[in-house]
A and B are shown apart, each in its own frame.
Chain A
Amino acid sequence: MNRARVYPAVLAGAAVLLLAGFAGAQENESHYVGAQACEKCHAEQWDAFQSNPHHMAEIDPKLVGEQVGCESCHGPGSRHVDADGDENNPGFHTMRVFKRMKPDEATAVCRTCHKTGEQVYWDQSNHARNDVRCMDCHSIHAAKSEDQSKLLVAKRTADLCVTCHRDKRAALEHTAQMPLRDGGMSCTDCHNPHGSAGPHMIRAASNVELCVTCHTDKRGPFLYEHPPVRENCVTCHQPHGSNNDKILAGKRPYLCQRCHVGSRHPSTLYDVPDLTLSGANKVISRSCTNCHSQIHGSNHPSGEFFER
Chain B
Amino acid sequence: MVRTFVALVGLLVAIVLGAPAPALGATDGATDGSVTFGTQWWDQTAREAKYQEFSEEPRGAFLEKYALRAWRDRNLVLFYGSHGLRNDQSNSLTWWNGAKFRVDLGYQEIPHNLSFTAHSPFSEVAPGVELVPDSLQAANQANSAGYVARMKDALAASPRLNLGFRTDITRARLRARATRDLQFELKGSRRLRSGRKPYGGGFSPGNGVEVWEPIAQRILDGEARATYQKQRATLLATAGVSEFHNDVDALTFDNPARLTGAQNQGRIDLYPNNRSVRGTVGVVYQLPMRTAFNGTVGVSRDTQNDPWLPFTVNRADPYSSLDSLPPERSTHAKVDVFTQDYRFTSHPRKDFGGTLTFRQYQYRNRTPVHVFSGSSVADGTFALGSLESEPFGYRHQSYGAELNYNPLKEASITGTADRVDRTRTHREVLSDREESVGGKMRLRPMDKVSLEAHVRRAKRWARNADFSYDGGEQTTLRRFDVADRKQMQAGGSVTITPTERLELGGSFGYLFEKYSGDLADTSRIGLRRIHQRNASGDITYHAKTNLDVTAAMGWEQMVSRQASRQSRTAAFGTADSTWTARLKDEGWFANLGLDWRAKPDLLAFTAALDYARWPGTYVFATVSPSTVTAQNPPSTRYRRIDLTLETDYSLAARTQLGLQYAWEEFDAIDFAAVDIPQLGVASCANSINYIYLGDSFQSYRAHRVALLVRQTF
Which secondary structure characterizes the binding site on chain A?
loop
Whether A56 lies near B99 (C-beta < 8 A) is yes
Q: Report B349 CB to chain A, min CB distance, Å.
A: 13
Q: How far is the CB of B672 from chain A (nearest CB, A)?
A: 5
Whether B200 and A289, one on each chain, are in contact in the complex, defined by CB atoms closer than 8 angstroms, is yes
Residues of chain A lying within 8 A (CB to CB) of residue B672: 251-252, 283-285, 287
A308 contacts B378, CB within 8 Å?
yes
Is B116 on the interface with A (CB-CB < 8 A)?
no
A96 within 8 A of B: no
Does A116 have its Cβ within 8 Å of any Cβ on chain B? yes
Given A175-B638, A308-B378, A284–B673 Cβ distance below 8 Å? Answer: yes
Q: Which residues of A contact B394 (CB under 8 A)?
A: 227, 230-231
Per a CB cutoff under 8 Å, which of A129, A149, A228 touches B481?
A: A228
Q: Is the CB of B71 within 8 A of A51?
A: yes
Q: A278: which of B94, B199, B680 is its contact (CB, 8 Å)?
A: B680
Q: Are A166 and B331 in contact (CB under 8 A)?
A: no
Decide yes or no whether B188 CB sits under 8 A from chain A.
Answer: no
B304 touches A221 (CB 8 A): yes
Q: Residue B602 at the A interface, CB < 8 A?
A: no
Provide the residues of chain A in CB contact with B671, threshold 8 Å. 275, 283-284
Q: In the complex, are the beta carbons of B311 and A301 less than 8 A apart? A: yes
Asked whether any CB of chain B lies closer than 8 Å to the CB of A101, the reply is no
Q: Mark A255-280, 1 if CB is under 8 A from B, else 0.
A: 00111111111011111110111111
Q: Is the CB of A63 within 8 A of B179?
A: yes
A222 at the interface (CB under 8 A from B): yes
- In Å, the complex CA distance between A272 and B677 comes to 16
Q: Is the CB of A267 within 8 A of B71?
A: no
Whether A124 and B612, one on each chain, are in contact in the complex, defined by CB atoms closer than 8 angstroms, is: no
Residues of A within 8 A of B28 (CB): 50
Which B residues, 554 to 613, have Cβ-Cβ distances below 8 Å to chain A? 554-556, 560, 562, 564-572, 577, 579, 581, 583, 585, 587, 589, 610, 612
- The answer, yes or no, to whether B177 is at the interface (CB within 8 Å) is yes
State in angstroms the CA–CA spacing of A284 and B690 once bound together: 11
B564 touches A261 (CB 8 A): yes
Q: Assess whether A167 is interfacial by the CB under 8 Å rule.
A: yes
A51-B30 in contact (CB<8A): yes
The verdict on B202 contacting chain A, using a C-beta distance below 8 Å, is yes
Q: Complex formed: what's the CA distance from A198 to B357 in Å?
A: 11
Task: Tell me the bound Cα distance from A245 to B572 in angstroms.
Answer: 31
Among B200, B367, B587, chain A packs the most CB atoms within 10 A around the CB of: B200
CB distance from B75 to the nearest CB of A (A): 7
Most buried by A among B82, B191, B276, B566: B566
Residues of A within 8 A of B577 (CB): 269
**A18 in the interface, Cβ–Cβ < 8 Å?**
no
CB of A89 within 8 Å of the partner chain: no
Q: Which residue of B lies closest to A273 (CB)?
A: B631
**Residue B27 at the A interface, CB < 8 A?**
yes
- Ranked nearest first, the 10 interchain pairs of A and B with the lowest CB-CB distance are A291-B202, A179-B54, A217-B271, A281-B690, A272-B631, A221-B333, A116-B227, A300-B269, A60-B99, A258-B527
- List 10 A-B pairs, Cβ < 8 Å: A120-B284, A121-B294, A216-B217, A227-B392, A227-B426, A271-B620, A277-B677, A278-B689, A286-B210, A301-B372
Known A206-B339, A275-B633; 9 more pairs at CB < 8 Å: A56-B71, A117-B225, A167-B536, A173-B554, A185-B110, A197-B298, A214-B191, A225-B390, A301-B310
Q: Which residues of A contact B (CB under 8 A)?
A: 50-51, 53, 55-60, 62-65, 115-117, 120-121, 123-124, 129, 146-149, 163, 166-167, 169-171, 173-175, 177, 179, 181-185, 197-199, 205-206, 209, 213-214, 216-225, 227-228, 230-232, 235, 243, 245, 250-252, 254, 257-265, 267-273, 275-287, 289-294, 296, 298-304, 307-308
